[in-house]
């Protein structure tokens, strides 16, 4: 057992929406949990190591509720032909390992992966747990569920009707997934459909929810248009991904059901900013039609008190696994009217609650897993600070420190 005490830390607390200055906390690196926290100097004796954070800012590790870890965000560039010619499973496995490293280096310590061809996120999770690869902790979904010929059919599981959905979800749970992902509507990156297309019906969604919740697993739904978002929320899903069109009725349903929204704003914004000439016109045109409505809907939902959990849709065009999670939080401030503290909450305590892991993650408190990041400057004054290089800790152990950081008093890895 190794106990490390961190002193002179400004610790973010979501209850106060602010940093508590002059704090210390102790981590047992064997259990990976915080054993003590307080103001001033620690009274607990027996730490094997003391690290002085010198009044830097300590936040819970960033959590991203919507990734596609095996996807290749540069697929749509001029490299597309070479990537397409390679063995798909091998290429996606290699990119998954790289993407995991990029995520942890940028302060993302926990992800929920919501769709992976070949169920690749399951072995990736195992490799991360066994420390064979670096990266965030992984909540898996395996292959997403879609109707025959529906959104994501090339890498997902096609099911039609209640019986097929029921059996499909049971089989996925048997394979070891942590979450069920449903494609309830059409989307942007498939030709011949729109975000308003309803795909799964209410009975099919309820069947998935029933089976997943019976095993204490969560359900995430790709739902973009208004009717699909309502249908998913009514059926009792845990999170609605994207939510391009949210009205007052939708907000009322979500409040009643306790539904979280995972906005993935950068998935749209990246295509809008960088996709001209590489992302097909049919896809980019759907972005142009929907982006203002999407951003307005997230702003409306957040103002109405619908809980927002940060997710980026990492793996879509030009939307990768580096600083994009922190940039998503900036979009919530710039485009959705949140304060920097509210944006931080989306990627910490809100995410933990949405994923049903708040007993272990999402805040710096006694008993919680010690996954956290450290910045020299206060992100409440400028949320973009979180996009800069920063120190990253998992279970109280430093796994990445800024390249230009002077290593002294044990701050560096």
Using one digit for the tens of pLDDT, what is the confidence trace for 131-167? 999 999 999 999 999 999 999 999 999 999 999 999 9
Q: Tens digits of per-residue pLDDT, 202-257? A: 999 999 999 999 999 999 999 999 999 999 999 999 999 999 999 999 999 999 99
Say what the pLDDT of residue 412 is: 58
Residue pair 346/329 in contact (Cβ under 8 Å)? The answer is yes
Q: Could you say which DSSP state residue 137 is in? A: E
Q: Where does CATH 2.30.40.10 sit in the chain? A: 3-61+363-400
User: What's the whole-number average pLDDT of the chain?
Assistant: 94
Residue pair 108/325 in contact (Cβ under 8 Å)? The answer is yes
User: Out of 132-141, 286-295, 403-412, which region has the weakest mean confidence (pLDDT)?
Assistant: 403-412
Say what the pLDDT of residue 345 is: 98
**Residue 169 scores a pLDDT above 80:** yes
> DSSP secondary structure string, 370-397?
--EEEESS-TTT-GGGGGS--EEEETTE
Please state whether beta strands 137-139 and 108-113 pair in parallel, antiparallel, or not at all (unpaired): parallel
Q: Where does CATH 3.20.20.140 sit in the chain? A: 62-354
Q: Hey, what CATH topology would domain 62-354 get? A: TIM Barrel (3.20.20)
Nearest alpha-carbon partner for 154 in 221, 71, 276: 71
**Residue 383 scores a pLDDT above 70:** yes
Tokens of 297: 């809907």
For the 3-61+363-400 domain, the top CATH level (class) is mainly beta
Residue pair 265/335 in contact (Cβ under 8 Å)? The answer is yes
Residue pair 286/38 in contact (Cβ under 8 Å)? The answer is no
Residue pair 315/73 in contact (Cβ under 8 Å)? The answer is yes
Q: For 4-34, give one letter per residue: b (16+ CB within 10 A) or e.
A: bbbbbbbbbbbeeeebbeebbbbbbbeebbb
Say what the pLDDT of residue 36 is: 95
């Amino acid at each position: 057992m190794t106990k490390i005490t961190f002193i002179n830390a400004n610790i973010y607390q979501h209850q106060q929406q602010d940093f508590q200055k002059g704090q210390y906390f102790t981590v047992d690196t064997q259990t990976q949990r915080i054993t003590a926290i307080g103001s001033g100097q620690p009274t607990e004796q027996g730490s094997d190591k003391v690290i002085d954070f010198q009044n830097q800012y300590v936040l819970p590790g960033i959590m991203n509720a919507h990734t596609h870890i095996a996807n290749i965000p540069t697929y749509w560039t001029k490299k597309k032909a070479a990537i397409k010619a390679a063995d798909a499973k091998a290429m996606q496995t290699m990119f998954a390992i790289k993407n995991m490293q990029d995520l942890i280096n940028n302060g993302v310590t926990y992800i929920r992966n919501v769709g992976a061809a070949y169920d690749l996120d399951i072995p990736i999770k195992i490799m991360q747990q066994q420390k064979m690869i670096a990266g965030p902790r992984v909540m898996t979904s395996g292959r997403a569920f879609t109707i025959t010929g529906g959104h994501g059919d090339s890498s997902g599981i096609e099911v039609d009707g209640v019986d097929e959905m029921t059996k499909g979800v049971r089989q996925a749970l048997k394979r070891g997934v942590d979450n069920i992902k449903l494609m309830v509507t059409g989307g942007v990156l498939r030709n011949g459909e729109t975000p308003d297309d309803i795909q799964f019906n209410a009975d099919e969604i309820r069947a998935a929810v029933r089976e997943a919740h019976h095993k204490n697993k969560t359900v995430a739904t790709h739902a973009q248009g208004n009717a699909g978002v309502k249908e998913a929320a009514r059926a009792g899903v845990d999170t609605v991904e994207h939510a391009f069109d949210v009205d007052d009725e939708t907000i009322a349903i979500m409040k009643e059901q306790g539904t979280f929204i995972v906005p993935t704003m950068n998935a749209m914004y990246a295509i809008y900013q960088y996709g001209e000439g590489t992302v097909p016109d049919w896809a980019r045109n759907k972005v142009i039609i929907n982006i203002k409505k999407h951003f307005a809907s997230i702003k409306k939902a957040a103002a109405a008190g619908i809980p927002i959990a940060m997710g980026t849709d990492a793996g879509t065009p030009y939307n990768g696994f580096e600083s994009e999670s922190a940039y998503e939080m900036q979009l919530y401030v710039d485009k959705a009217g949140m304060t920097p503290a509210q944006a931080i909450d989306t990627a910490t305590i809100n995410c933990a609650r949405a994923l049903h892991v708040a007993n272990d993650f999402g805040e710096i408190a006694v008993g919680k897993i010690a996954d956290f990041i450290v910045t020299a400057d206060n992100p409440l004054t400028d949320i973009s600070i979180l996009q800069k290089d920063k120190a990253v800790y998992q279970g109280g152990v430093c796994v990445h420190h800024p390249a230009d950081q002077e290593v002294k008093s044990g701050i560096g890895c």
